[in-house]
Amino acid sequence: MSTVNKISKKANYYTERYRPQFHYSPQKNWMNDPNGMVFYRDEYHLFYQYHPEGSEWGPMHWGHAISKNMVDWEHYPIALEPDALGMIFSGSAVVDWNDTTGFFGGKEGLVAVFTHHSKEEVQSQSIAYSNDKGRTWIKYNGNPVIPNEGIKDFRDPKVFWHNETNEWKMVIAAGQKVMLYSSPNLKEWTYLSDFGANEGAHGGVWECPDLFRLPVDGNIHQQKWVLQVDLGDGAIAGGSGSQYFIGDFDGTTFVNENKPSETLWVDYGRDFYAAQSFSDVLKEDGRRICMAWMSNWRYANKVPTTPWRSAMSIPREMELRQNDNGNIKLFQKPITELQTLRQSKVNISNEFVNGDKNVLANQEEDVFEIVAEIENLSAVEFGFKVRKSSLNKEETIVGYNFNKEELFINRENSGENSFSEEFSGRHAVKLTSSKESIRLHLFIDKSSVELFFNDGEVVMTDLIFPKEDSKELELYVIDGEVKVISLEVYSLRSIWNEQR
């Protein structure tokens, strides 16, 4: 397969209009959730919900890609296809290091745990295994391993090994709650508990949960559990989105340490869904890294891209940290491997800027990264206008308004938006920054913006569909002055096309 990819990396590969240059997208057809993310023998595996016959959602398969660094990806053949038990919906994968399954003759191997969705729309949980580093998969002949006992939406199992109890655990979405199970061998599962019927946000069906432990402020003696649960509608920016809970998991039950009515959001933009973290990242590495589907069920089937539909977010490292108000929150930072994308650089420091001049007036960028630290002296609002064109009257605004104490992305004039009434809009989050300066870290690709605010305390992800030549860039300031402490703009290389 790697030869196939190398040949196709020539001219004209991944050069279509809107084609992401440093995000994963399939060569053609429909993709949704990331699945089965696992690190094994120096390879990161990304499987994904895939419809190989069309560019709208349809009979689900698991597509497959492999990376050595989570930045550069190679396409692999489809890993799992529908069978007599149904389509292959979302799920996870683990390394069965001690052959608890008995699939590997005393050695180790990969096991995928996923949902079968039958013709009658009944969902049950099944497993498959691979002896050849994920290249080919054999479905277990005892499937399903968890049959459906009358739950309508029962899907997206995420499995992990729990050292204290010496067992596998599964967290799975079940209507308006999650259920927890345990198993000695990934084949026989015992129900443990459920969580969430009266906690957090419930604007839509619960889907794609994840459960993992993280140190607080890097202190391994103070660890907490994070339960991430996505909801199909009613999220903070409208439509589908991702929430999380912080608390404790004793091997049987998850307990939320915040008020049940409090909802914490993983991402405040419109296009970050079905996030999942990599399993089995090396202990020496220790990072918890997640990726999500960059779309929203409100318009996912209509976004104006062809011959593919949808891309994944950049990989993000998840951390728990105490914020300035003393609350423990999930912080996210772009993984350091992404720095290998950086090409040329613009550097500005210690410069006073008001509304009269645009210090980035000479720049033209469409695939780039901005790292900025800016101190407000007297401005009402400042930010960046990206993928802008005075001629095309296009711009996407990423800014902070001091009067409203609001961080926002405005994509009302970002480009093509007629494909869905749900698409256009301004997505904002209220937050006060007690720091003197504000840090904005932005990743802009051909059709997306990812914003990390103050070291990833707040993150926003939005799709955009600007014209090819909308490449102007502006640091704008309204009513006053700011001091640019530091500002770096990097052009980013394409992971698909060496000529670009």
Residue 195 or 402: the one with the smaller Cβ distance to ligand FRU is 195
Q: Tell me how crowded residue 61 is: count the other CB atoms within 10 A of its CB.
A: 20
Of 25, 100, 101, 115, the residue at the interface with ligand FRU (CB under 6 A) is 115
Smallest distance from ligand FRU to CB 286, Å: 28
Cβ closest to ligand FRU, residue 67 vs residue 115 = 115
The burial class, CB within 10 Å (0-12 / 13-18 / 19+), for 387 is buried
Report if residue 49 touches ligand FRU, rule: CB under 6 A.
Answer: yes
Residues 67 to 106 in contact with ligand FRU, rule: CB under 6 A: 89-90
Binding mask 26-45 for ligand FRU (x = CB under 6 A): ------xx------------
Shortest Cβ distance from residue 51 to ligand FRU (Å)? 9
229 contacts ligand FRU (rule: CB under 6 A): no
Q: Tokens 């000695």 sit at which residue? A: 184
Question: Shortest Cβ distance from residue 117 to ligand FRU (Å)?
Answer: 7
**CA 90 – CA 126 distance, rounded (Å):** 11
Please list every residue from 268 through 287 that binds ligand FRU, using CB under 6 A: 274
The CA distance from 141 to 446, in Å, is 44
* CB nearer ligand FRU, residue 26 or residue 399: 26
- Could you tell me if 365 and 489 are in contact, meaning their C-beta atoms sit under 8 angstroms apart? yes
Beta-strand pair 308-309/29-40:
parallel
Complex with ligand FRU: residue 143 or 494, whichever CB lies closer: 143
The residue within the footprint of ligand FRU, chosen from 60, 227, 231, 482 (CB under 6 A), is 60
Least Å distance, CB 121 to ligand FRU, is 12
> Given 33, 96, 156, 445, which residue is catalytic?
33
Nearer to ligand FRU, 170 or 458 (CB): 170
| CA within 13 Å, CB half, 285 | 15
**Nearest in space to 310 (alpha carbons), one of 326, 299, 320:** 299
For ligand FRU (CB under 6 A), the number of binding residues is: 12
Is the Cβ–Cβ distance between 222 and 265 less than 8 Å? no
Query: Contact, 37 vs 278, CB < 8 A?
Result: yes
Residues contacting 451, CB < 8 A, separation 6+: 269, 398, 407, 409, 440, 441, 442, 459, 460, 461
Quick check: 299 binds ligand FRU (CB under 6 A)?
no
| CB 350 to ligand FRU: min, Å | 46
Give the residue with the Cβ less far from ligand FRU, 33 or 96: 33
The answer to whether 176 touches 197, Cβ cutoff 8 Å, is yes
The mark string for 130-159 relative to ligand FRU (x by CB under 6 A, - otherwise) is -------------------------xx---
Do residues 95 and 112 make contact, with C-beta atoms less than 8 angstroms apart? no
Q: Is 156 one of the annotated active-site residues of the chain? A: no
| Partner residues linked to 490 by β-bridges | 345, 369
Distance CA 97, CA 340 (A): 31
Site of interaction with ligand FRU (CB under 6 A): 32-33, 49, 60, 89-90, 115, 155-156, 207-208, 274
Which residues participate in catalysis according to the annotation?
A: 33
